[in-house]
């Protein structure tokens, strides 16, 4: 029996739209009726996840739980979140429901191991994701070599994510930051880059980057398509 998807979104809205678009594009479908039923709660009022992890900001769990309950009420058979940093709260959310969450992080680590065996990844992510060790844990578990950005590169990534993509600014405003991050991590031995914040695949597309990457939004889309009993359009 085919399953439906609940997207716990709004973190941020453009990243939510990107995930929905990628699910539609990657589903092997010849007509409208061949696509997956998807429920989306684009709750942009969810407090910032990095601020909650690093500096005692408002706890996003109550607002995330509200979205979870709405998706349960719709009848979603699984739930996904287009926000890497939000996965810090996934264990607490999963404990509140019998509806399974699919992890963007796990899907990305599996893709790294399959596509770049023995090669070194650089984890591009928010300070919250990096401080919580979210990617470090899943990559270590799957024996994927990796590097994490030094503080100056972390600062640059935060500017790209918050002052650039989330703020709707032109890619030219953050091109230099992205180039400096890629150069610094390549010099340290990175062979490819995990775009470990859902704003970063959007930035990479707008900038026209031509470096090897793993896009967690794409990997989550593929994983949830298969989970729901559909085929991926490779």
- The catalytic residue positions are 83, 197
Instruction: Find tokens 């696509």 and name the residue.
Output: 35
Length of the chain: 234
Closest CA to 74 of 35, 102, 41, 27: 41
CA distance 82 to 41: 11
Number of H helices, E strands in the chain: 11, 7
Query: Which DSSP symbol is given to 120?
Result: P
Radius of gyration, alpha carbons of the chain = 17
- In contact, 97 and 68? CB cutoff 8 Å: yes
């Amino acid at each position: 029996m085919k399953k439906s998807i609940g997207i716990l979104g709004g973190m941020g809205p453009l990243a939510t739209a990107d995930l929905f678009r990628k699910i539609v594009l990657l589903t092997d479908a010849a007509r409208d009726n061949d696509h997956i039923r998807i429920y989306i709660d684009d709750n942009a009022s969810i407090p910032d996840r990095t601020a909650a992890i690093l500096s005692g900001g408002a706890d996003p769990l109550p607002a995330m739980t509200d979205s979870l309950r709405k998706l349960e009420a719709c009848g979603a058979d699984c739930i996904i979140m287009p926000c890497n940093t939000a996965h810090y709260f996934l264990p607490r959310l999963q404990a509140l429901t019998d509806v399974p969450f699919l992890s963007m992080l796990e899907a990305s680590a599996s893709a790294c191991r399959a596509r770049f065996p023995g090669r070194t990844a650089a984890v591009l992510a928010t300070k919250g994701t990096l401080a919580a060790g979210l990617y470090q844990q899943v990559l270590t578990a799957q024996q994927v070599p990796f590097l994490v950005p030094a503080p100056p590169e972390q600062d640059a990534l935060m500017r790209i994510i918050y002052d650039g993509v989330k703020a709707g600014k032109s890619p030219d405003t953050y091109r230099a930051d992205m180039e400096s991050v890629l150069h610094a991590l390549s010099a340290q031995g990175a062979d490819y880059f995990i775009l470990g914040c859902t704003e970063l695949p959007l930035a990479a597309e707008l900038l026209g980057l031509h470096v090897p990457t793993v896009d967690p939004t794409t990997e989550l889309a593929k994983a949830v398509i298969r989970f729901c009993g559909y085929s991926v359009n490779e």
